Amino acid sequence: MDKIRAAITGIEAFLPEYRLTNEELSRMVDTSDEWIMQRIGIKERRIMTGKDKATSDMGAEAVKKLLKKTGTNPDDVDFLICATITPDMPFPATANIIAHKVGIHNAWSFDINAACSGFIFALITASQFVESGRYKKVVVVGADMMSAITNYKDRTTSPLFGDGASAVLLEPSPDEDGIIDHIHHVDGLGRLHLHMKAGGSLRPASHETVDNDEHFIYQEGQTVFKFAVSKMADVAVEMMERHGITAENLAWLVPHQANMRIIDATARRMGIDPKQVMINIRKYGNTTAATIPLCLYDYENVLKKGDNIILAAFGAGFTWGSVYLKWAYDGNSVAG
């Protein structure tokens, strides 16, 4: 039997209504629209508001829309995986809560914690289930409510992050299109430069940890920047070389959206035109596990069956990787 390939056959997204602009942020911390646009490239980010709202609410909205768009009966979903570093609570998994909220009852599910590489790690994990032949409909969610762990008194991290969710359906591909290859890496030493100090078993929550603002993102920006620029480009270029992909036959690079300067440097190393790069950092900021599927969602209209696409990410862990896939359908429709 020929190898089964997993293909993305539909995509949907949820973005909260509230827009936190650079102007509003400049009234909260000592920053400016000019600095943020020059150094990062973000104009505004979406923020989840409302009492008792959490990551699962965004993920569930994206999955509900996905099931509707693809005509999928929730009972037919075999497996759901959610990439997030902002789970509703340390346990149980946010994936389970999403499944419950959308009426997926015949599936099992779990979360993946790989920060900004979360979606590509989850996508490859999920694709193994489809490739096994046993799973026909798998949902992959990338969802993060970064506002829950962002310190809006810290000007070095607060401009960077936003909230959002996106979900894709993975099914066996009827042809050669679908997920072809991946190159994924981790380096646990990188944890020193990007982490949350408290709230885990190392430093359980206490009055002291709260007083010290230790339940927020801690980032040594310059060090992370240096690793991100070299590692994300390394895996994207390696993927091109491995498959004979050139600037001519690559349709799109879909990079994690952390900083416009990192995205530009990656595209330059790959020798591709800026027009071949999906970018939406300006309007959503860094939504961690949601950036890559949110790009695919925003550009879905212009995607064509057979398009060569490279996904690339770098994030806390450190984690980084790239995925090579051939898009499975034309425009804003669904495959099949």
Binding residues for ligand UT7 (CB under 6 A) = 31, 35, 39-40, 116, 155-156, 159, 221-222, 224-225, 228, 258-259, 262, 286, 315
For the CB of residue 84, give the shortest distance to ligand UT7 in the complex, in Å: 14
Peptide bond into 159 cis (omega under 30): no
Q: Cα separation of 142 and 165, whole Å?
A: 6
Active site residue 301: no
Active-site position among 22, 82, 182, 256: 256
* Minimal CB distance residue for ligand UT7: 221
For the CB of residue 193, give the shortest distance to ligand UT7 in the complex, in Å: 9
Query: For 205-318, where are the E strands, in sequence order?
Result: 217-219, 252-255, 308-315
Active-site position among 82, 116, 193, 295: 116
Sequence length of the chain is: 336
Q: Side chain identity at 301, as an amino acid letter?
A: N
Nearer Cβ to ligand UT7 (4/29): 29
Nearer Cβ to ligand UT7 (9/158): 158
Active-site position among 22, 96, 259, 286: 286
Give me 160's structure tokens. 């960077």
Nearer Cβ to ligand UT7 (16/118): 118
Nearer Cβ to ligand UT7 (172/221): 221
Nearer Cβ to ligand UT7 (105/226): 226
Residue found by looking up tokens 């991100």 in the block:
228
Q: Cα separation of 183 and 322, whole Å?
A: 5
Sequential DSSP letters for 226-246: HHHHHHHHHHHHHHHHHHT--
Active site residue 256: yes
Q: Cα separation of 86 and 122, whole Å?
A: 15
Q: Under 8 Å CB-to-CB from 21, ≥6 apart: which residues?
A: 43, 44
12 φ, ψ (degrees, to nearest 5): -145, 170
- Helices 94-102 and 55-70, axial angle in degrees (round to 10): 50
Which residues have a catalytic role annotated? 116, 256, 286
